[in-house]
Amino acid sequence: MFTCRPFWLLAIVVLGIVGPRSLVQGQPQAEPPSRKFPTRAELEKQYDENRDGQLSAEERRKMVDDIVEGRVDVPPQFRDAVRRMRDRVREGAKPPLAKQPAGPGAQLMRGGASDKVLIQRDLVYGDGGGRPLKLDLVLPQPAPDKPLPLIVFIHGGGWRGGDKAGGVARVVPFVATGNYVGASIGYRLSGEAIWPAQIHDCKAAIRWLRANAAQYHIDPERIGVWGSSAGGHLVNLLGTSGGVDALEGSGGSPDQSSRVNCVVPFCGPTNFLAPRRFEGGRRPSAVDLLLGGAIEDKRVAAKEASPITYVSADDPPFLIVHGTADGTVPFEQAEMFHEALKKANVDVTFVRVVDGSHAVGGEAVMQRVTAFFDKHLRGQEVEVSEAPIPAAPTR
């Protein structure tokens, strides 16, 4: 375990070194030229919840966690730097990651359980709007002697921010057990392309992973997807829209299936035509930007983008996790989706995080996620409880 004081001292150093100009510059070449990132001062103001002009340890911790998990739009290089610093502190400030001679983009993680995984970054799975689409792959080490189930993470960020780097840390613990392969998908954001580009990209990635399953020791018949917020929406769609031609797109090995075998959405939107507003009614909302206009003017697209539209009896098992106090994606979104899946006789487990916000997590939640994947991807005889979980306390 780590203590809060050293962690936050190091986080302050990281955020102090990366000043306002650094947050705006250094954008990846693949990003649209008009994209701008917040300055350090803007970030700190956003997370200064009590408006006292400075960040408490709790406020700064939330900011760093949101950066790492892709809920704040910052340059990928900066997100990686913060993630590495946080991971090193949590592991006892171990030495930096060692170089791995396994080819370009490969990185063997060192320290704790992470010395058992190999990360292949920036693998091109397709083309979107004239630029390469990429994903990160996490492989167990040593290489397995049989195909393993795959867990794919899709990042959040309101479809307008975030990147795949934050998802790698999500799947590493699963891969380190030697029981899974992991992947984190990058997709076009709404500032670059509006709906349905995002689901086209995600489905292309699933098809590419299935087409290359033998090379990466993946069992193509055991693919689970997991996402948070906007990523939760996209995994919901992957689960319900299998076989819907309008959402398939044509990239990433179009001869392969984009269907998945189980789905874990954290706080994912499900019905854009529901009466209660997203993001507390802020306009334009992230949904407006995704659809290319106000929901009221884009009702056809809003219905097409809603996972609840496609619920059917052949959908895979779902584990829905949602905070009851979510102020960004109303809790009712999870409730109505749960009811629709149940009505269609889909295998669905609904975990309510009591008083949980839009950022759910913690050990109890992860135990449910682990049990769910073990049951539906590894065939383990385990129970996945629906018992409510209290929100994890802020450290």
Comparing CA positions, the residue from 271, 287, 267 lying closest to residue 279 is 287
In this predicted model, what pLDDT tens digit does every residue of 115-168 receive, in sequence order?
799 999 999 999 998 999 999 999 999 999 999 999 999 999 999 999 998 899
Of all residues in the chain, the percent with pLDDT exceeding 70 is 78
Confidence of residue 376 (pLDDT cuts 50, 70, 90): very high
CA distances for 45 relative to 134, 341, 362, angstroms? 32, 41, 26
Higher pLDDT, 386 or 110: 386
Torsion of CA 249, 251, 254, 256, to 10 degrees: -100
Query: Rounded distance, CA 180 to CA 182, Å?
Result: 6
Return the structure tokens found at 99: 């170089």
Amino acid 86: pLDDT? 66
105-118 as b/e, with b when 16 or more CB fall inside 10 Å?
A: eebbbebeebebbb
Of all residues in the chain, the percent with pLDDT exceeding 90 is 64
Q: Quick one: 241 exposed, middle or buried, by C-beta within 10 A (0-12, 13-18, 19+)?
A: buried
Query: Rounded distance, CA 308 to CA 172, Å?
Result: 30
Return the structure tokens found at 239: 């689960």
Angle between helices 230-240 and 197-211 (to 10 degrees): 60
344 contacts 313 by C-beta, under 8 angstroms: yes
Confidence of residue 369 (pLDDT cuts 50, 70, 90): very high
Eight-state DSSP code of residue 223? E
Higher pLDDT, 278 or 54: 278
In this predicted model, what pLDDT tens digit does every residue of 311-322 receive, in sequence order?
999 999 999 999
Instruction: Using the predicted structure, report yes or no on whether residue 301 has a pLDDT greater than 80.
Output: yes
Q: Which residue stretches of 251-362 are H helix?
A: 286-291, 299-304, 331-343
58-85 as b/e, with b when 16 or more CB fall inside 10 Å?
A: ebbbbbbbbbbbbbbbbbbebbbbbbeb
Mean residue pLDDT across the chain: 84
CA neighbours within 13 Å on the CB side: how many for 171? 35
160 contacts 191 by C-beta, under 8 angstroms: yes
Confidence of residue 52 (pLDDT cuts 50, 70, 90): low
55 contacts 143 by C-beta, under 8 angstroms: no
Amino acid 26: pLDDT? 33
Query: Rounded distance, CA 36 to CA 42, Å?
Result: 12
CATH number of the structural domain 106-390: 3.40.50.1820
Query: Rounded distance, CA 242 to CA 238, Å?
Result: 6
Amino acid 244: pLDDT? 95
Residue with tokens 């996790």, as numbered in its chain: 321
Determine the average pLDDT of the residues in 356-361: 92
Higher pLDDT, 93 or 225: 225
In this predicted model, what pLDDT tens digit does every residue of 82-100 receive, in sequence order?
766 665 554 444 333 333 3
Look at residue 363 and give its three-state secondary structure: helix
Amino acid 277: pLDDT? 77
pTM of the model: 0.76
What is the strand order of the sheet 148-154 is part of?
106-108, 117-128, 131-140, 181-185, 148-154, 218-228, 262-266, 318-323, 348-354, 389-390
- Domains in the chain: boundaries: 4-90, 106-390
Amino acid 84: pLDDT? 64
Comparing CA positions, the residue from 97, 171, 91, 94 lying closest to residue 139 is 171
Eight-state DSSP code of residue 208? H
Instruction: Using the predicted structure, report yes or no on whether residue 281 has a pLDDT greater than 80.
Output: no
Amino acid 68: pLDDT? 72
